[in-house]
């Protein structure tokens, strides 16, 4: 059972803005650990999308942004494009489990 909860799916039309929430607890996000986001295109390995709450690795468009508050974090995609259709996972660290934890995953559909 994942300690980071995400909505199973979100959808939007091309050009729209969508957000994905990642809800944790006081032993992970709320403890101040960084939140990181991964994009997994169909049939491929996850790719680091954002690190340290809101930092983009080289090559990631600035359409992707992140935020964190309390025990939750969010990923926002603005100007949604067909190529953004993928599964998205948040990740942090949990000090009760002493383990790296991933979110339940969210499938983004571009209408």
Instruction: Closer to another protein by CB, 48 or 111: give it.
Output: 48
Q: What are phi and psi of 46, to 5 degrees?
A: -60, 150
Among 45, 61, 66, 71, binds another protein (CB under 8 A): 45
- Any residues with CB less than 8 A from the CB of 111 and at least 6 apart, and which? 11, 12, 13, 14
Q: What are phi and psi of 84, to 5 degrees?
A: -85, -5
Q: What residues does 109 pair with on adjacent strands?
A: 11
Asked whether position 100 contacts another protein by CB under 8 A, the answer is yes
18-26, 50-58, 59-67, 76-84 -> range binding another protein (CB under 8 A): 50-58
Considering only residues 2 through 31, tell me which ones interact with another protein, judged by CB under 8 A.
2
Interface residue list for another protein (CB under 8 A)? 2, 32-34, 36, 38, 44-48, 51-52, 57, 89, 91, 93, 97-105
């Amino acid at each position: 059972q994942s300690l980071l909860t995400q909505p199973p799916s979100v959808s939007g039309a091309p050009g729209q803005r969508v957000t994905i929430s990642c809800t944790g607890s006081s032993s992970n996000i709320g403890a101040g650990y960084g939140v990181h986001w991964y994009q997994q295109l169909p049939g491929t390995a996850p790719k680091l999308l954002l690190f340290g709450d809101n930092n983009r690795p080289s090559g990631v468009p600035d359409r992707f942004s992140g935020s964190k508050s309390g025990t939750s974090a969010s990923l926002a995609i603005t100007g949604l494009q067909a190529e953004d259709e993928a599964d998205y996972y948040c990740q942090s660290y949990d000090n009760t489990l002493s383990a790296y934890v991933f979110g339940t995953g969210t499938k983004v559909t571009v209408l």
